[in-house]
Amino acid sequence: MMRRALLIYIGIAVSILLLFGLNLTTGSVQIPFADVLDILCGRFAGKESWQYIILENRLPQALTALLCGASLSVCGLMLQTAFRNPLAGPDVFGISSGAGLGVALVMLLLGGTVSTSLFTVSGFLAILTAAFLGAITVTALILFLSTLVRNSVLLLIVGIMVGYVSSSAVSLLNFFASEEGVKSYMVWGMGNFGGVSMSHIPLFSLLCLVGITAALLLVKPLNILLLGPQYAESLGISTRRLRNLLLLIVGLLTAITTAFCGPISFIGLAIPHIARLLFRTDNHQVLLPGTVLTGAAIALLCNFICFLPGEMGVIPLNAVTPLIGAPVIIYVIIQRR
């Protein structure tokens, strides 16, 4: 079993390296892989424009795709385990919708600028702050409601209702907004791994890695949860406290990724199922690291597909992720009947 898992780990890791290289060489400007390596090693003496494209555009975009895919996949796996529901995901709980509502308030209601007597924030920073605050607010609300609702299935339904309320508010804002504001919001809602600049990569990477590490430390409690909440309680694990901790980690990771990249569909929902199909186990000691790697690989693949048209333009990310995620979910539903 472990030998088979190790071979799959190696296969996915090799796929990540290949896809990472393809992400660096593919685009409207074709740059040979040898020149890409020279640029990364700091010994390139050719076109300055190529150096700028790699270091300021493609490299941060590939790193963002890798970290975002890993983060959202971990979120999906933890939620599916904690709530014993194969269709649980970050977007199901309304966390992504909360981020979308925050951005809608800034773009559609405030014209892209938040101004107070103490400070003024505009542009990308205003959108980033609004998305983060929106996602964190919904997470805090779900955590509060979890103190009132003990049943995991009912809490899942509450999260869906919160998402519907957020979506309704966004629809109203769209109705009364200007044409330019609606267009800007629609572009943000399509998702994009190119929203993180090289100067933001250290902060983005640190926050994602902290969240993923916190998730990896919960392998043992997640395995015990598979045996049922009553068995977990008999072993001294507070399922309610563990559920709240999982929600906090999921909320932070979803807030970070959505704030920087927009709402990314299907990654958090479908990747855990792809990892289960690959590793054929529910043991989180194998499955959780496998989900991290699978999520990184699939996100890099989606980003690569987005740039395949080359000079014809870039395909929206949320037009690609359902092509991979939806068939997986349909297959899982058919298998479970």
For 197-238, the pLDDT digits (tens) are: 888 899 889 989 999 999 999 898 888 888 877 777 777 777
Retrieve residue 270's tokens: 């479908």
Give the integer Cα–Cα distance in Å for 31 and 49.
11
For 123-161, the pLDDT digits (tens) are: 667 777 788 788 888 878 877 877 777 776 777 788 888
**Best-predicted range by mean pLDDT (148-157, 302-311, 315-324):** 315-324
pLDDT range class, residue 34, cuts 50, 70, 90: confident
Tell me, what's the pLDDT at 111? 64
Whole-model pTM: value is 0.87
Retrieve residue 190's tokens: 């399509």
Tell me, what's the pLDDT at 191? 84
pLDDT at 113 over 70: no
Averaged pLDDT, 40-64: 85
Give the integer Cα–Cα distance in Å for 114 and 116.
7
pLDDT range class, residue 291, cuts 50, 70, 90: very high
The distance from CA 113 to its chain's CA centroid, rounded to whole angstroms, is: 26
For 236-272, the pLDDT digits (tens) are: 777 778 878 888 888 888 888 888 888 888 898 899 9
Tell me, what's the pLDDT at 74? 94
Contacts 24+ apart (CB under 8 A), 201-208: 201/60, 201/63, 201/64, 204/64, 204/67, 204/256, 204/260, 205/63, 205/67, 207/252, 207/256, 208/67, 208/68, 208/70, 208/71, 208/253, 208/256, 208/257
What is 2-336's CATH topology?
A: ABC transporter involved in vitamin B12 uptake, BtuC (1.10.3470)
Averaged pLDDT, 176-182: 78
Averaged pLDDT, 190-201: 85
The residue type found at 112 is G
pLDDT at 64 over 70: yes
pLDDT at 2 over 80: no
Q: What percent of the chain has pLDDT over 90?
A: 24
Averaged pLDDT, 181-200: 82
Give the integer Cα–Cα distance in Å for 132 and 100.
10
Residue 135 and residue 96 in contact, taking contact as beta carbons nearer than 8 Å: yes
pLDDT at 115 over 60: no
199: Cβ contacts below 8 Å, ≥ 6 apart? none
Give the integer Cα–Cα distance in Å for 28 and 310.
4
Give the integer Cα–Cα distance in Å for 224 and 297.
28
pLDDT at 7 over 80: yes
pLDDT at 310 over 70: no
Domain extents for the chain?
2-336
Report angle CA 124, 207, 244 to the nearest 5 degrees.
Answer: 110
For 66-84, the pLDDT digits (tens) are: 999 999 999 999 988 887 7
Tell me, what's the pLDDT at 114? 57
Tell me, what's the pLDDT at 273? 92
Tell me, what's the pLDDT at 1? 62
Tell me, what's the pLDDT at 143? 75
**Dihedral angle, C-alpha 69, 71, 73, 76, nearest 10 °:** -140
Give the integer Cα–Cα distance in Å for 267 and 196.
18
Give the integer Cα–Cα distance in Å for 259 and 206.
15
pLDDT at 122 over 80: no
Task: Determine if residue 281 is left, alpha or beta; phi over 0 gives left, psi from -120 to 50 gives alpha, anything else beta.
Answer: beta
For 274-290, the pLDDT digits (tens) are: 999 999 888 899 999 99
Average pLDDT, the chain: 84
pLDDT range class, residue 30, cuts 50, 70, 90: confident
